[in-house]
Amino acid sequence: MVNLSAPDLTQHPPRSVRVRLGGYAHLSRLLDKARASLAGKAAEYHYNCPLDQRFFAFTGINHETMLAEIKSGKTDVQILEWVNTTSKRPINEVIAWSAWLEQLGPGGAPGHEWIAETLKGHGSARDDIRSFADLLDLDDYISYGGKA
């Protein structure tokens, strides 16, 4: 049985960047990685990675303070309430930021070349991977046995 209070990311991936919690893209994934890190089951996933840092920059929340809140055993809904109280971002900004984050890509040619090399490394000829969310979803799928 999967314990989502202490996810084992050696057995399954975290939730997608696209799974929203309170309108926030990536928050669910960030929580999965933090809880797995606290349980010593993070595998290759990292709490406070560059995508997590974008969430922290947008909300103004310190990653160590957030980790302490997660460590206290709060549920997703309780963490969301805490994020909303701490950040005070209006929902229209949250929705706009989340839409932007889902489409965030590598920018210039070097970033696109990096995505292309990552896809080749997975043995994939896909040409529809444009954003980091696309790449993370595909990488999670492949990492747990899926075929590109």
Q: What is the pTM (predicted TM-score) of this model? A: 0.91
Alpha carbon distance 136, 104 (integer Å): 12
Q: What is the mean pLDDT of residues 13-22?
A: 97
Model confidence at 145, pLDDT cuts 50, 70, 90, reads confident
All residues at 6 or more sequence positions from 65 whose CB lies less than 8 Å from its CB, including other chains: none
pLDDT in tens, 22-44: 999 999 999 999 999 999 999 99
- Sign, Cα dihedral of 95, 141, 38, 106: negative
